[in-house]
Amino acid sequence: MCDKIPELKAGLRNLKTSAVAFSGGVDSAFLLALAAGSGLERLMAVTVDSAFVTRAEIRRARQVTQDLGVSHQVLQADILKRSKVVKNSPERCYHCKTAVFTLIREAANKACISHVLHGVNTDDLADFRPGLKAAEELGFEAPLADAGFSKQQIRECSKQMGLATWDLPSQSCLATRIPFGDPITREALLRIEKAESFIKSLGFVHIRVRCHGKMARIETDEESIVPIMRVRQQISAALKPMGFAFVSMDMDGYRTGSMNYLPETDEK
């Protein structure tokens, strides 16, 4: 798949001016690196900072753009002021991405940049992603998906290119830790971020702390379930003062989209 990179770079170069929606994750970092090496006349990375984004992600986004030598804008979005987002219906992602991508589109227009890109891959197209509709409505282009790149292929090519992001764990916004129908609060988001940060500080990489009211449900990869249980008391002691009355371990382990179910039904 990496043999498609020259063709992909040529396609990016033909755009002449581009802004990349940049989270600092595996996909957007790969896309930005390709764009940076394509000879575009003007390139800009745009990161939108909100309550749904961890501080670690913002720091990484700044570092990656600095390493690539790409102009970088970090925009602020008070996403919790949007009632359709806070309501947390299954269409939450659509409403959130509409707000976020509108900011990116406006920044691109202000900089006289014609094309806006995001790092969607072919795996994303098969998942429940209402935000893709928002991207399409706002005219965002998806060069990686169009070229047929999967997540694994992006990782492999990123490794070949020497990108430090090649083995980063998959990212998703903090709102995905809260079940549909439960209103999203700043307090819950901060509690989730602190809980995940603590567990990661113990050496665990693939971690999700799903917030079911006052209960934390921890998901991790299959290989880490036994090791994490060895420090369960330490984790419980740390998470309870954060506001969790109960701390549990999901025996099915981490899986993408585990919260994409409607409450009290089996409908995905």
Residue 162 is encoded by which pair of tokens? 């020497």
On whether both 180 and 139 belong to a single domain, the answer is no
Number of structural domains the chain divides into: 2
Whether pTM > 0.85 for this model: the answer is yes
Q: pLDDT tens, 40-90?
A: 999 999 999 999 999 999 999 999 999 999 999 999 999 999 999 999 999
- Residue 160 and residue 5 in contact, taking contact as beta carbons nearer than 8 Å: no
Q: Is residue 168 part of a domain?
A: no
Residue 167: inside a domain: no
CB 36 within 8 A of CB 76: no
Query: Residue 249 is inside which H or E element, if any?
Result: strand 246-249
Residues 208 and 135 in one domain: no
For position 268, what pLDDT does the model report?
46
Same domain assignment for residues 118 and 215: no
Same domain, 141 and 200: no
Q: Is 260 a member of any domain?
A: no
Whether residue 113 sits in one domain with residue 228 = no
170 band by pLDDT with thresholds 50, 70 and 90 = confident
81 shares its domain with 118:
yes
Structural domain span for residue 110: 2-161
